[in-house]
Structure 1
Amino acid sequence: MKHSAQGAAGTGAGTAAATVRIPVQPSAADRTRAGGEPDGSARGEHTHGEPSAPSVPGPSTPRPRALVQRSSVRGQVLDALRAALVTGELRPGEVHSAPVLGERFGVSATPVREAMQQLALEGAVEVVPNRGFRVVERGDRELAELAEVRALIEVPVWLRLARTVPAERWAELRPLAEVTARAASLGCPATYAEADRAFHRAVLALAGNEELVRIAGDVHRRAQWPPAGAPAARGRADLVADAHEHTALLDALIAGDPDVVRALVGQHFAGARQDSGVLGL
């Protein structure tokens, strides 16, 4: 997504939005995201008068009509915008107009504006009166602080769970670790980010504390946005290394080796702090 903030309320934002795609249906992971965030209808999204939300076509491509539940339009737009933040398609400092983005998505401005308002609550964008929404410019310090907060929240929980959760429960998380490995092999930062959050969410859910899952998930998502001036996302090799840490941790947890678990958890979160919080854990 490449264009300057100037004139984003006009054609610039529309051109940039052409690379953002809306999935046909929300994934199961998104329907059970951190904090128990439900699907579109339960979030009070608009269900009336919205056309289906197809993948965004190029300038000369006829817009196809995808079969999409109307209640999920706002949620799909939100997911697409979140993915664009992770990949760097929505660049820090850019201003985007809801009507122009809506035209590119094939929906009205209403679900786009609502999705942007949710991103504003999450700290990803800020309102620019009479223009739209500006992507917040975030520095390395903020991302390093988020990574530190994640470690303060998650490390003690992981170590406590390592002492109390039986091996068979850890084994049940193996499919999620495998999903992160497959996502990493694709080299798509947005796909990996979602799989990474799902794995960590499942681990923390073993503590039985919904507020913990919600707060940790929010911090995790925010820590995945790249800072201003940084590369949009890390490469495939880094993602594969991160995913491998999930598998190694599960192996140690299933084996019931507390010393190895302690070392791996420390390495896992120390690496995140060194990376100033961009993708991974």
Structure 2
Amino acid sequence: MSGSGGNGVVTRSTLRQQIADALRDEVLAGRLQPGQEFTVKEIAEQYGVSATPVREALVDLSAQGLLEADQHRGFRVHEYSPADYRGMIEARGLVTDGMFHSLAASGMKQLSAPRAAAALAAVRRRGEEAQRAATAGELNILIGYDLRFWRELSGLFDNPYLTDFLHRLRVQTWVCTVQHLRQVDDLKGYLWSGHTELVDVLALRDHAAARAIVAEYNAHALALIERLAAE
């Protein structure tokens, strides 16, 4: 693990976060498979660090629903079912619908009109990167940009609890999605690419259109996962 800070000192909390982020990325990339088991000792040896920050990182990931803890055997990657995915999608839809309704009703009250427009433009640029990755079928690249897109979009509402909750939901849905999409050889045409369209209707404060775009996206994603799970 690399050092952080100007003096190169890595604190235990920094290591904890770095290890959690690295393992989350391993799960999202499909390199840690559903049901795969490992111990604190194995991860500590892999990263060349002590057991304490590793154990803390694994507990954090378990709290986020990405891992399962077994008192006697260590940890395993959580395996999500289509029913889990449906629940995540429903929860995610309720959150985004509330966001869009708030934006349509009052806009970004904490920002002036020029700053609000600039903030949306920045989110749109992130969406353009996500769209390019989706169109090309580049799943790993898409996941990174998509998570940043939704984090920055939800961040416009100036509510860190909302941002963190939606980010956690999106990570969980991506973990479930990855577990099924890895069986598809060519992902072109499979991946949602409506990011900029969504930003454009939000700029117009069109709550109904934004809701329709996300509803179509969620229906497409759910149908895809259920079909892949059945094959």
SS of structure 1 residue aligned to 2:76? strand
Aligned counterpart in structure 2 of residue 215 of structure 1, from 165, 174, 178: 165
User: Aligned partners of 2:56, 2:208: CA distance in 1, in Å?
Assistant: 47
| Distance change (3 Å), C-alpha of 1:258 and 1:144 | closer
Residue 103 (str. 1) matches residue 45 (str. 2): yes
User: Aligned partners of 2:178, 2:133: CA distance in 1, in Å?
Assistant: 25
**Counterpart position of 1:70:** 10
Tell me how far 1:81 sits from its aligned partner. Answer: 0.7
Deviations along 1:54-104, one digit per CA (max 9) or x if unpaired, are: xxxxxxxxxxxxx97513322221111101111222112221012122222
Aligned counterpart in structure 2 of residue 198 of structure 1, from 131, 148, 159: 148
User: Aligned partners of 1:138, 1:119: CA distance in 2, in Å?
Assistant: 15
Unaligned runs of 5+ residues in structure 2 are 108-112, 227-231
User: Aligned partners of 2:3, 2:151: CA distance in 1, in Å?
Assistant: 21
Letter in 1 for 2:91: V
Unaligned runs of 5+ residues in structure 1 are 1-21, 27-40, 42-66
SS of structure 2 residue aligned to 1:237? coil
Residue 189 (str. 1) matches residue 129 (str. 2): no
Letter in 1 for 2:69: V
**Counterpart position of 2:188:** 237
Letter in 1 for 2:23: L
User: Aligned partners of 1:188, 1:276: CA distance in 2, in Å?
Assistant: 18
SS of structure 1 residue aligned to 2:31? coil
SS of structure 1 residue aligned to 2:194? helix
Letter in 2 for 1:173: V
Q: How many residues align?
A: 214
- Structure 1 contact 161–206 (Cα < 8 Å) conserved: no
Deviations along 1:21-61, one digit per CA (max 9) or x if unpaired, are: x6x589xxxxxxxxxxxxxx9xxxxxxxxxxxxxxxxxxxx
Superposition CA RMSD, Å? 3.3
**Counterpart position of 2:110:** none
- Structure 2 contact 123–152 (Cα < 8 Å) conserved: yes
Tell me how far 1:261 sits from its aligned partner. Answer: 3.7
**Counterpart position of 2:127:** 177
Aligned counterpart in structure 2 of residue 91 of structure 1, from 33, 55, 77: 33
- Structure 2 contact 40–54 (Cα < 8 Å) conserved: yes
| Distance change (3 Å), C-alpha of 1:225 and 1:119 | same
- Structure 1 contact 252–261 (Cα < 8 Å) conserved: yes
Identity of matched residues, %: 28
**Counterpart position of 1:115:** 57
- Structure 2 contact 180–225 (Cα < 8 Å) conserved: no
User: Aligned partners of 2:137, 2:179: CA distance in 1, in Å?
Assistant: 21
Tell me how far 1:146 sits from its aligned partner. Answer: 0.5
| Distance change (3 Å), C-alpha of 1:263 and 1:120 | closer
Tell me how far 1:115 sits from its aligned partner. Answer: 1.1
